[in-house]
Structure 1
C-alpha cells in the first residue's frame, strides 16, 4: 500500500516511517522542514519538503495513494504561542481541505491524529479520576483539545457525506521518553511510539470506518476502586497487581505516584475495531528489568 503521511519529521511521523518496511508499505512523507538530517531515512520512505496548506500540491501527491495518515498540525506545545483561532484554522479547516482533496482523487482510507486530552484535558484532571472510554462526554480544557475534538466531528461528517473510511486516534502520550524510561507511565496514559504507529497503520490497512474516535492507550488491570485507592496509596495498589514491582521501580529511579491513577483507559474499542494491542506494557517493561511475577488478571475494560 502507498500511504501519504504528513508531519513525517515529528515524533509520530518518524515512528510511522520506521515501521514502513515491517508493514510492507511505501510511505510518501511530507513536512515543512523535511526529514531530520541526523537520522537515516528508513527503507520504503520518501521524504518531501512541503507545507500541507498547499492543497494543489497535496492533491497531486494523493493520486495513487491508498492511505492517508495526517499527523501534522498544532499541538500542545503551541498553546503559549497560538490562539484558539489558529488551532481551529490549522487543525480543523485545513484538515477539511485535505479530506476534500482526498475524496477528489479517490483516496478513501484516512487516519487522523487526535489526543487523549479530548477526555482528560491538558492537566489530566478535567475528566476526574475514572476509567476513560469513548462513550464518555469530552472534557477538553485547551484550544488544542477543543480543536482536536472539532476535527473528530469533521472526520465523522466527512465519512458520512463522502463515504471515506475515517478514524481519529485519541493517542496517549508518546515519544517524550525512551521506552526504557517509561516505567510506571505505562500504567495509565503513556504508550511507546511504535505502538502508536502500529495503530495508525491498522487504521488505514482496514476500511469501512465511519469517523470513529478510538482510544489508543496502555492496557490496565485497574478497576475504579483501585483508582480511588491509588490516588492515596499508589505503591500499595501497584504491588497488589505486580508483586515485587516497587523494588524494581525504586532501583530504576522511577517511583510510582498518584499521577498513575489520574485516570486509566479502556482500550476495548481499539481491540475490537483495529485489532490493536500495545506491545510495550507495564508488565513487559517489568520483565525486561527482571521481574518474574505472575501476570495480573486481564482487565474487563
Structure 2
C-alpha cells in the first residue's frame, strides 16, 4: 500500500514508519519538524516538510494514497492549558484539514493517534472504551473533538477509521541493523527519560509529585506500554479499518505501575542511584490511570510481547546511552 504518516519524524510515528517499510509498504512522511528531528525518519521513507494544515498539497487524488496514519500534533497537557489556541490549531484544525483532504482524494483508511486523556478522571479501572469521556485539559479536549469528527465523517462516507487511545509510551525500538528509535522530546516531560537524565548526571534529582495518594505505596499509578508493541497494534489496525465505521481501542497494561515502581526499576536496570525529591501533588493528577486492552487483543489480534517494566526501562536506557 501507499501510506501517508503525519508526524512521522516523532517518537511513535517514526517507529510505525519503520515497521510499515519493513512490511513492504511505500511510505510518505509529512512533518513540519517544529518539534521533531528529521534524523528520526527511517531510511526508505520520503519526507515532506509541511504542516498538516496544508496536507491537501500532498494528499491529492493523483497521489493515490491507500491510507493515513495520523500522529502529528502537540502532546503536552500543561502547555495546552497555557496556550489552548495553539493546541486547537495543531491538533483539531489540522485534523479537520486532513479529513477534508482524505475525502477529496477518496482515501478510505485512517488510523488516528488519540489519547486516554479523552477520559479525564477515571470512572472505572481499568478504563474500557465505554468509559465516560470528560477531559480535564485542553489536550484531551482537542483529541476528543477529532474523535467526534471522525465518527460523523465515517457515518456519512466510506471512510474506515481506527482511533488508538493510550497513556505512557516508553522504551525504544530496535531496528534490524541494531540502530534504535527512542524518545527525543524537546522539552522533555516524560517520567522515564527525565529520570534517566538524573542517572546520567544531567539533573540533580528526580521530582516526584506527591507520595500521599490512596495507592499501595502512596504514589500515582500509570500505564506504560512499550513503543514497539504500540506500533505493532497500529499496523494491525490497518486491516481493521472497516468502511463506514469508526472503531476505538485502548492500548494499555491492564494494571499499571506506580511512580516508585518505575523509579526502582530504573535503579535496578542502570545500576545507578536515583535520588528522588518529593514535591506536592500537581492539581488534577488522579491517583491511578490504566487501561484495559482486551478489545484490541480480541478484535485486532494484537499480542504485546514486551510488557515487562524492566524491558521497557532497559530499552530506554540503551537508547539513551547510544545518544552519548
Q: TM-score, normalised by structure 2?
A: 0.67
Match of 1:251 in 2: 268
Measured in 2, the distance between the counterparts of 1:156 and 1:62 equals 26
CA distance in 1, matches of 2:52, 2:104: 16
Q: How does 1:78-93 map to 2 (within 5 A)?
A: 78-79=79-80, 81-83=82-84, 85-93=85-93
Note if contact 2:59-2:65 (Cα within 8 Å) is conserved in structure 1.
no
Written as runs of structure 1 = structure 2, the 5 A alignment for 1:188-227 is: 188-208=222-242, 210-220=245-255
Where do 1:2-17 residues align within 5 Å? 2-17=2-17
- Which has more helix, going by share of residues? 1
Unpaired stretches in structure 1, ≥5 consecutive residues: 182-186, 223-229, 239-244, 290-301
User: How far did 1:23 drift?
Assistant: 2.3
Give how far 1:109 is off.
Answer: 0.5
Residue number in structure 2 paired with 1:95: 95
1:65-123: CA deviation from partner (whole Å, max 9, x where unpaired):
1110111123225325522x44334322332221121122221000111111112x3xx
May I ask how many residue pairs the two structures share in their alignment? Answer: 257
Q: Per the alignment, do residues 38 and 138 of structure 1 end up closer, same or farther by CA in structure 2, a change over 3 Å counting? A: same
Q: CA separation in 1, counterparts of 2:234 and 2:55?
A: 22
Which of 275, 288, 291 is residue 262 of structure 1 equivalent to? 288
Q: Is structure 2 residue 48 aligned with structure 1 residue 48?
A: yes
Report what 1:273 is aligned to: 299
Instruction: Please name the residue that 2:138 is paired with.
Output: 143
Of residues 117, 126, 148, the one that matches 1:131 is 126
Which residue of structure 1 lines up, in the alignment, with residue 111 of structure 2?
Answer: 111
Change (3 A) 1:264 1:55: closer
TM-score scaled by structure 1?
Answer: 0.71
Determine the C-alpha separation between the residues in 2 that align with 1:246 and 1:4. Answer: 37
CA distance in 2, matches of 1:37, 1:69: 18
Q: What is the match of residue 321 of structure 2?
A: none
Q: Is the 8 A contact 1:108 1:165 kept in 2?
A: yes
